């Protein structure tokens, strides 16, 4: 889910970041800091790869999902052009 009402959660147009390639808009290196690749904007916001331990992550996809523990599984589907 893209939260276009919050600039930190809006992933539109973001490039994929990896520990060796910092493409986010945050002052630190999100993929390196959080241990995984993603289309980061402001690090953990909308980071499908976690972290998922209880209490570690709040408002991952606000307002739809308020706590990481509410998510039981995920499925990522890529649509070809």
Cβ–Cβ under 8 Å, residues 38 and 32: no
Q: Is the peptide bond before 51 cis (omega within 30 degrees of 0)?
A: yes
Q: Which domains does the chain have, with CATH numbers?
A: 1-81 (4.10.530)
Q: Flag whether pLDDT at 1 surpasses 50.
A: no
pTM: predicted TM-score of the whole model, two decimal places: 0.61
| DSSP one-letter code for 7 | T
pLDDT confidence bin for 78, thresholds 50/70/90? confident
Residues 6+ apart with CB under 8 A from 56: 68
Tens of pLDDT, residues 28-56? 898 898 888 888 888 765 667 666 666 65
**Rounded CA separation 20/10 (Å):** 22
- Which two three-digit tokens encode residue 11? 């992933």
């Amino acid at each position: 889910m893209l939260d276009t009402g919050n600039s930190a959660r809006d992933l539109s147009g973001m490039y994929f970041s990896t520990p060796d390639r910092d493409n986010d808009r945050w002052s630190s290196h999100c993929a390196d800091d959080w241990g995984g690749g993603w289309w980061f904007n402001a690090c953990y916001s909308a980071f499908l790869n976690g972290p998922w331990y209880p209490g570690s992550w709040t408002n991952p996809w606000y307002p739809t999902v308020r706590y990481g523990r509410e998510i039981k599984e995920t499925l990522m589907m890529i649509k070809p052009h």
